[in-house]
Chains A and B, each alone.
Chain A
Amino acid sequence: MTAKPKISKVDLAEQLRAFVDADFVITDDETMKPYECDGMSMYCEMPLLVVLPETVTQVQRIMRICHEHGVPVVARGAGTGLSAGAMPNKEGVVLSLAKFNRILNIDPLARTASLQPGVRNLAISEEAAQYGLYYGPDPSSQIACTIGGNVAENSGGVHCLKYGLTVHNILKVEMVTAEGDVVTVGSDGLDSCGMDLLALMTGSEGLLGIVTEVKVKLLPKPEVAQVVMAGFDSVQKAGDAVGGIISHGIIPGGLEMMDGHAIVAADDFAGAGYPREAKALLLCEVDGTEEEVHEHIAEAEDVFRKLGATSVRTSQSEEERALLWLGRKSAFPAVGRISPDYYCMDGTIPRRHIAQVLTEMETMSEAFGLRVANVFHAGDGNLHPLILFDANVPGEFERTEAFGASILKLCVEVGGCITGEHGVGVEKIRQMAIQFNDQELEQFHAVKAAFDPTGILNPGKGVPALKFCQEYRSLEYKQHKHEPAEAAHG
């Protein structure tokens, strides 16, 4: 953790305005207000100031000044993060990369794209489409989220099982270090000499460096994609069917599960024609060559029927495929319509425990007196429980947080982890103590110090201070397993 900065707000702003357009060194509260939080709007803080550089040299100079004076720096892309990773530090600078929004080059033969960090995820695929190529990772915020943020969070999406995460789809990253040096990790080759710093940077939540350029791999767009929708009268059967598909040797492009609450909410919202009486729904997309898709779709239908699907429907056109996905893709706003607020969790579990985890979650739901709907990236074990609450009811958000914490604890207990793709940020920093012991957390701090000796990059995020962990663990120990804390009933 950094000590108090050794420079005043006025002096810092003056130094920055010496080389950054004065309009883009923001110091007044009204203009800074939109920067007070990211997509996790329950966590807010006003920064000291906001700066929007437009060249790498400017980023270097900002970092050198902040390093010299011990000023915290929080890098920010589109601000769509869901763990308060871009929440400002009140003593520090928000460094927005919004002006780094150019696609620098697309090389159709090499199948790569060179990008400034502020380029939107979806814009990459839109630009690459003219060459029959696309960028693999497709987080649900892809219309707005940026590639720099994707690197910081190691973003995934619905196609991870087959096409991987951000870490599998980037070749190199140019970054500015905490001390203001520009370095490139990775290369145009598929791997580089020495320890894999590119992997270490990916998912580091802005704690190790400021990404200023990214080179990504592009994939040939599959010839065909078709989706099979299967309804089941129990979560257990749907879970078994997921296993059945994998055991059959099919790796779907996407494999999604929704529980009964999510099915009804999504169908009301999107009119996708989901089987409303089903307790669980699977969407299984197969993509590839025409021959491969034809072969695998028939096998998938067969597997689902044999494993007790109550309904099976396969998309016969692009329109139908889009419609079947529309329900799943609008699950979040659909749930938003049936509740004043919702809180999206992000645990992962080994798939075989899905029925047990959903059943225990129902029990917790009753204990906490809060509804929960579940959408699940069944292909890769990433669970997104949506806890429904009303922020205007005093104490309800606190109870929601406690419910969420219990879910994450359960995920770790069955062999999973506290975050699959949303990151730790501020939001899940307490739960880090469940997944890691003190020696492991100490090692993380030491790695951080190797990149950022004075701790100015996004302090207080990602990895908790050890003292805090001991307190959290002893509090957990006193509580009964999965039951809400007493205070939560209040």
Chain B
Amino acid sequence: MADISQQLQEQVLQARASGEKLNIVGGGTKAFIGREPAPGAGTLNTSGHTGIVDYHPVELVMTVRAGTPLSDIEAALAEEGQALHFEPPHFGPGSTIGGTLACNLSGPARPWAGSMRDQVLGIRLLNGKGEHLRFGGEVMKNVAGYDVSRLQAGALGTLGAITEISLKVMPSLAASLTLIQDMAADDVLHYMNRRAAEPKPITAACWFDGKVYIRLSGAKTAVEATAEKWSGEVMEQGDAFWRSIQDMQHEFFTNGDAPLWRFSVGSTAANPTLAGDWFIDWAGAQRWYRGIAELGDMEPLARAAGGQVSLFRGGDRSGEVMHSQPDALKTIQQRVKNSFDPDGIFNPGRLYSWL
């Protein structure tokens, strides 16, 4: 555990002076996300910036340096009977909390537990002027100033290098079980959403290969009573199944090398008519598709389903990989980028070619 923020700051100042660009790298497990890193850019490595800065279990808040591996954080929380309910994916032992925020990655519990972005209370950030700034705080409610902390979620490091994060944590859930049953793709969206509308302790709902999986978690009595009322067989090794979804180690994600597309859409929207393999998660709000396609052809399908599409892994990453932005939002995002990073030092072109 070490504080290397000064070293990072000096590197940013040097880059600014010399006109160098910087690709921000933490554990290096998410290099596949976004467009191809800018060639010829230097590396700002945050993986040495580690350690829990402050953790009071009773406050349900932890402050941690951005290069800290998720596994260290989860181990410290587990000692106090707490956990990260949003189930961030580990793409390797090195996956860090900083990268998780920059990519806004969350696991199967996301519709109920919220996303990485939802847990963030405050950050420290090195902007493109080399200023080390603090936004938000370590309390659940804070409306002083703009929410620059959550703005980072999904920005892929284009606004600066996140150095520290304060996030909300939660008590571990006492009990958990998974119900599994056969169901056709045509019926599953209605089924999952109907279940989600009941006041029951549901914490995950996904569909793959003709089967729907529903997880119940919370007070033991509540989980068991709900399982009795709802249809489906109790799945053995349910926890291992969800872990494989969280870390994208399930066969759907690991088999073959067809590009992986992510549709973030309305949970009840009809599934896009595209031949190929689908995995429906988040009770319908996140749909994974594997197949060779053009982003431009996918966007109208995503829009029709009320959402957006992006190329998550594989495929051609030299072009755009994220759903296009209307002109007015493109202009605003370019200006926001410029306000944090006027010389365009950080992760140039990683999110969009124009950013």
- The answer for the CA separation of A243 and B152 in the assembled complex, in Å, is 31
Contact of A187 among B144, B196, B306, B352 (CB under 8 A): B306
Q: Is the CB of B339 within 8 A of A449?
A: yes
Q: Output the least CB separation between A317 and chain B (Å).
A: 19
Q: Is the CB of A350 within 8 A of B138?
A: yes
A154 CB–B CB distance under 8 Å? yes
Q: Which of B61, B200, B266, B333 has the most CB of A within 10 A?
A: B266
Contact of A381 among B141, B144, B147, B155 (CB under 8 A): B141
- The answer for the CA separation of A153 and B110 in the assembled complex, in Å, is 24
Q: Is the CB of B264 within 8 A of A191?
A: yes
A146 CB–B CB distance under 8 Å? no
Query: Contact flags (1/0) for A397-432 with B, using CB distance below 8 Å?
Result: 000000000000000000111111111100010001
Chain A 420-456 interface residues, beta-carbon cutoff 8 Å to B: 420-424, 428, 432, 435-436, 439-441, 443-444, 446-451, 453
Q: Is the CB of B153 within 8 A of A415?
A: no
B250 CB–A CB distance under 8 Å? no
Contact residues in A for B222 (Cβ distance below 8 Å) = 288-289, 291-292, 295
The answer to whether A223 and B286 touch (CB under 8 A), given A191-B117, A296-B219, is no
Which A residue's beta carbon lies closest to that of B285?
A190
Chain A 85-117 interface residues, beta-carbon cutoff 8 Å to B: 107-111
Report the stretch among B180-188, B204-212, B321-329 that lies at the interface. Answer: B321-329
Contact residues in B for A204 (Cβ distance below 8 Å) = 146-147
Contact residues in A for B137 (Cβ distance below 8 Å) = 348, 415-417, 435
Which B residue's beta carbon lies closest to that of A415?
B138
Contact of A289 among B59, B174, B225 (CB under 8 A): B225
A322 CB–B CB distance under 8 Å? no
Contact residues in A for B135 (Cβ distance below 8 Å) = 440
Q: Which of B144, B152, B221, B305 has the most CB of A within 10 A?
A: B144
- The answer for the CA separation of A161 and B266 in the assembled complex, in Å, is 26
Q: Is the CB of A463 within 8 A of B323?
A: no
The answer to whether A177 and B328 touch (CB under 8 A), given A188-B265, A446-B339, is yes
Contact residues in A for B148 (Cβ distance below 8 Å) = 200, 443-444, 447
Q: Output the least CB separation between B153 and chain A (Å).
A: 5
Q: Is the CB of B200 within 8 A of A247?
A: no
Q: Is the CB of B308 within 8 A of A192?
A: yes
Q: Output the least CB separation between A383 and chain B (Å).
A: 10
Contact residues in B for A164 (Cβ distance below 8 Å) = 114, 118
The number of A-B residue pairs with CB atoms under 8 Å apart is 287
Q: Output the least CB separation between B105 and chain A (Å).
A: 10
Which A residue's beta carbon lies closest to that of B263?
A189
Query: Contact flags (1/0) for B339-355 with A, using CB distance below 8 Å?
Result: 11000000000011000
- The answer for the CA separation of A423 and B114 in the assembled complex, in Å, is 24
- The answer for the CA separation of A244 and B15 in the assembled complex, in Å, is 49
Query: Contact flags (1/0) for B293-329 with A, using CB distance below 8 Å?
Result: 0000000000001111010000000000011011011
Query: Contact flags (1/0) for B196-239 with A, using CB distance below 8 Å?
Result: 11111100000000000000001111101110000000000000
Contact residues in B for A338 (Cβ distance below 8 Å) = none
Contact of B151 among A183, A200, A288, A449 (CB under 8 A): A200
Contact of A189 among B61, B146, B198, B266 (CB under 8 A): B266
Contact of B131 among A203, A243, A439 (CB under 8 A): A439
Which A residue's beta carbon lies closest to that of B104?
A191
B332 CB–A CB distance under 8 Å? yes
B190 CB–A CB distance under 8 Å? yes
Which A residue's beta carbon lies closest to that of B149?
A199
Chain B 30-70 interface residues, beta-carbon cutoff 8 Å to A: 56-61
Q: Is the CB of B174 within 8 A of A463?
A: no
- The answer for the CA separation of A197 and B159 in the assembled complex, in Å, is 13
Q: Output the least CB separation between A89 and chain B (Å).
A: 20
Contact of B58 among A108, A190, A192, A246 (CB under 8 A): A246
Contact of B268 among A109, A381, A423 (CB under 8 A): A109
Contact residues in B for A190 (Cβ distance below 8 Å) = 110-111, 115, 264, 282, 285-286
Which A residue's beta carbon lies closest to that of B173?
A249
- The answer for the CA separation of A292 and B217 in the assembled complex, in Å, is 11
A32 CB–B CB distance under 8 Å? no
The answer to whether A153 and B143 touch (CB under 8 A), given A352-B56, A417-B137, is yes
Q: Output the least CB separation between B197 and chain A (Å).
A: 5
Q: Output the least CB separation between B331 and chain A (Å).
A: 9
Contact residues in B for A187 (Cβ distance below 8 Å) = 264-266, 306-308
Q: Is the CB of B59 within 8 A of A351?
A: yes
Q: Is the CB of A195 within 8 A of B322?
A: no
Q: Output the least CB separation between A462 and chain B (Å).
A: 8
B140 CB–A CB distance under 8 Å? yes
Q: Is the CB of A421 within 8 A of B144?
A: no
Contact of B201 among A208, A288, A352, A448 (CB under 8 A): A288
A167-B118, A190-B285, A382-B140 given. 4 additional CB < 8 A pairs? A191-B104, A191-B264, A444-B145, A463-B145
Chain A interface (Cβ within 8 Å of chain B)? 107-111, 131-133, 153-154, 156, 160-161, 164-165, 167-168, 177, 181-183, 185, 187-197, 199-200, 202-204, 208, 220-223, 243, 246-247, 249-251, 288-292, 294-296, 348-352, 377, 379-382, 415-424, 428, 432, 435-436, 439-441, 443-444, 446-451, 453, 462-463
